[in-house]
Structure 1
Amino acid sequence: MTNATMAAMNNDLSATEAARLLGVSLPTLYSYVSRGLLVSVSHGAARRKRYPQEEVLRLAARKNDARRGGQAAVTAMHWGLPVLETQISHILEGRLLYRGCDATLLAQHASLETAASLLWDDGAIDYFHQDAPPLPPQLASAPDATPLTRAMVAMVAMAMPASTPAPATTPASMLQAGPALMRTLAAALLQTAPSALPLHQQLALAWQADAEQTELLRAALVLLADHELNASTFAVRCVASTGASLPAALGAGLAALSGDRHGGGSAAARRMLTQALAASDARDAVGAYYMSIAPEFAGFGHPLYPHGDPRAAYLLGILATLAHEPPRLQAILAACATAEELLDARPNADLALAAMELAFGWPEGAGMSVFALARSAGWIAHAAEQAASAALIRPRARYIGRHLRD
């Protein structure tokens, strides 16, 4: 028996195990196979049937979702049931996985470009062997706008039917256009000319980051490249499902990211840190700050990570090793620890971005720029996946208003 065969067997289930996971009888299990809901494979001389574990788990999830339909479906739109299937990323037992690869392990060595290629098609093609795109004229027309506004203006302009080349609308064309769009986003966010340099190096040059900070930027971009079906990614998929172009879908993602309860988290966490550093009693300042804002929207806690956000743990862990460098960093980390103790909540990625931005003297809003540039990689993956499904996302609403009256 080959190693490959043994590995496959280890991931297969017996009929009894599969039926137990599904909560059905053996006859019902066999009926699933005959109806095409589940596949089985023959094994051994007795030709006993075995069932791929992933297929069984997927069917069990679908059955569970169906049983919990109706009112339970309402929670699907806020930290509840899955509402669509994806092969791109998922969160499992406190870990963020990109196509099965642990994002924190990738952050040790990968670039955002490497992570993007993984998210787009499992790394089959390196899409980034392209020259930098030309500077869109729209980027030079709004010099006083915020970085995110400039990025949205660029995407909206590129989404117009008259733009050249024609906007990408098919899965293949979306992935081919991905590098140019990400480099255009970087140019808009940094107010520089588009460049083919690695994206973390573009940020480092614009913000005069040293070698250690550059490595931290690289890791942050990888860790934030995708995060399952968050609000901005869902917006991207909804727009892509209509047949709209990739720039239009990315514009929707940027618009969603601009909200205080999504991309604005690092700015809120920065305000908390600034107030704590300026106060005579940091604990009192932190307590007062979180009387007016929910911690999860300002650096602490995450519903998908009850034991702590691994992205924050990774980045703050690196910052702790650099505490002897920037004078303010030690005080910033102390303020983070004070807030964690007071709130009895673990830091999330927004706090890590805010700490980096504040400690290294990067421009205010740098955390949002890192977030937007990183997440564009995931948005492109989801837009292409949605386009490939050829399905329109059109959920129904539960009506709770007046009924027809005579």
Structure 2
Amino acid sequence: MNNDLSAPDAARLLGVSLPTLYSYVSRGLLASVSNGASRRKRYPQEDVLRLAARRNDAKRGGQTAVAAMHWGLPVLETHISQILDGRLLYRGGDAAALAQHATLEMAAGLLWDDNAHDYFQQDAPALPQGLASAPDAAPLMRAMLAMAMLACMPASADTLQSGPALMRILAAALLQTAPSALPLHRQLAQAWRADAGQTELLRAALVLLADHELNTSTFAVRCVASTGASLPAALGAGLAALSGDKHGGGSAAARRMLTQALAASDARDARAAIGKFYATIAPEFAGFGHPLYPLGDPRAAYLLERLSALSHAHPQLRVILAACATAGELLDAKPNADLALAAMELAFAWPEDASMSVFALARSAGWIAHAAEQAASAALIRPRARYIGRHERD
């Protein structure tokens, strides 16, 4: 069956005039095909619908065209979080305001069902035999291994696959401890011997990093969840995406920059070291800038302000914050959350991979919320590709 459209039909579906339709063809946005002996061009229906989806995406998420195609763009509706006017909102509430008092468990309840239930009343799970993590592996690798093993367990092990149980198992894998019902920020503080001020900073950081709209790892989680895979499998996909240098690796890169600056003999050499570092790496992947926050990342602003308040008791922290300020001036860019995590890790002599552990544990709350929302929609995420290679007819 030939689904090619006439020019008037294609223009009507796109909501444009015929001259605009022809301009789309001349600009390579839309293909046209010859109609046999007739000189009139025809337009592949699927190509027209896909272009309509892209045109409408900025206004309505392309839903009309997407519904007609059954396949669509990777733009998903969500009730969970939003980035709006330079603020991060969890279910319409400011995440920075929530970070002033909430725990990660409270943030998880908000993200999961708007605090309709208190999920963390249950005891910590007892790990089944064979789930012990590899002692010599990095924390993120141990977490990925734990999720992979849980994903292979039978459905009868569903008590180990609830959101609270998985977050506690994740914390245990990251820290190489037994699962605990202790508040998650206190588990981190206990493992890293953090004092009261640092513990509060950890609590706030976990809340601020709990979700971030449709970032790369969250999209990976939603794709896996849309197939009907288990929750541990979906979390494993999130952890895998987080392991990349352009995602979770940003704090490690920021730490390398700070370490090089601190090793300099004076302020001038420190500035030169910072400049040399950023000559080889993009700032947004190493502590500065964020395309969704042109005026600055509010998560970084919150954490760096709290760090500044602690600097009177930590001389090394004052030096680190000075290096952060120098880098910002040199780059003419605002810090992002990666820089704040790196500064915390370095200033308080936490393990070198502590930033990644904080990020992974915090974001697991959002991943669980997105996996549940995607599963409830019963929709398979399957974007279409726009082919730009050679054609057989060429």
Aligned AA for 1:145?
A
Residue 191 of structure 1 pairs with residue 191 of structure 2: no
Going from structure 1 to structure 2, the CA distance change for 1:183 and 1:291 (only over 3 Å counts) comes to same
**Structure 1 residue 352: deviation in Å?**
0.3
Q: Is the 8 A contact 1:115 1:222 kept in 2?
A: yes
**Structure 1 residue 258: deviation in Å?**
0.2
Corresponding residue of 1:276: 261
**Structure 1 residue 279: deviation in Å?**
1.3
Superposed counterparts of 1:216-227, under 5 Å: 216-227=201-212
Aligned equivalents of 1:201, 1:316: Cα separation in 2: 20
Aligned equivalents of 1:367, 1:96: Cα separation in 2: 20
Alignment partner for residue 353 of structure 1, among 341, 352, 366?
Answer: 341
Superposed counterparts of 1:154-193, under 5 Å: 154-162=146-154, 164-166=156-158, 177-193=162-178
Alignment partner for residue 325 of structure 2, among 315, 337, 341?
Answer: 337
Aligned equivalents of 2:218, 2:63: Cα separation in 1: 26
Aligned equivalents of 2:172, 2:358: Cα separation in 1: 12
**Structure 1 residue 216: deviation in Å?**
0.2
Corresponding residue of 1:312: 300
Structure 1 residues 132-141 or 177-186, which shifts more?
Answer: 132-141
Aligned equivalents of 1:282, 1:296: Cα separation in 2: 20
SS at match of 1:398: coil
Corresponding residue of 1:300: 288
Alignment partner for residue 193 of structure 2, among 199, 208, 215?
Answer: 208
Where structure 2 has 5 or more consecutive residues not aligned to the other structure, the ranges are 1-55, 67-71
Corresponding residue of 2:103: 111
Q: Is the 8 A contact 2:133 2:146 kept in 1?
A: no
TM-score (norm 2): 0.80
SS at match of 1:289: helix
Going from structure 1 to structure 2, the CA distance change for 1:404 and 1:289 (only over 3 Å counts) comes to same
**Structure 1 residue 326: deviation in Å?**
1.9
Q: Is the 8 A contact 1:270 1:358 kept in 2?
A: yes
Going from structure 1 to structure 2, the CA distance change for 1:303 and 1:120 (only over 3 Å counts) comes to same
Tell me how many residue pairs correspond in the alignment.
Answer: 332
Corresponding residue of 1:19: none
Percent of aligned positions that are identical? 78
Corresponding residue of 2:225: 240
Aligned equivalents of 1:148, 1:132: Cα separation in 2: 21
**Structure 1 residue 69: deviation in Å?**
8.8
Alignment partner for residue 138 of structure 2, among 146, 151, 159?
Answer: 146
Corresponding residue of 1:51: none
Going from structure 1 to structure 2, the CA distance change for 1:94 and 1:326 (only over 3 Å counts) comes to same
Aligned equivalents of 2:156, 2:186: Cα separation in 1: 28
CA deviations on 1:59-81 (whole Å, 9 max, x unpaired) are x97745549999xxxxx98xxxx
Aligned equivalents of 2:129, 2:243: Cα separation in 1: 23
Aligned equivalents of 1:164, 1:66: Cα separation in 2: 40
Corresponding residue of 1:10: none
Where structure 1 has 5 or more consecutive residues not aligned to the other structure, the ranges are 1-59, 71-75, 169-173
Corresponding residue of 1:92: 84
Going from structure 1 to structure 2, the CA distance change for 1:308 and 1:141 (only over 3 Å counts) comes to closer
Going from structure 1 to structure 2, the CA distance change for 1:84 and 1:134 (only over 3 Å counts) comes to same
Aligned equivalents of 2:215, 2:131: Cα separation in 1: 28
Q: Is the 8 A contact 1:167 1:246 kept in 2?
A: no
Q: Is the 8 A contact 2:81 2:91 kept in 1?
A: yes
Q: Is the 8 A contact 2:140 2:243 kept in 1?
A: yes
**Structure 1 residue 401: deviation in Å?**
1.5
Aligned equivalents of 1:341, 1:62: Cα separation in 2: 34
**Structure 1 residue 324: deviation in Å?**
1.3
Moved over 2 A (4+): 60-70, 135-141, 161-164
Aligned equivalents of 1:106, 1:188: Cα separation in 2: 27
SS at match of 1:90: strand
RMSD: 2.3
Aligned equivalents of 1:214, 1:186: Cα separation in 2: 16
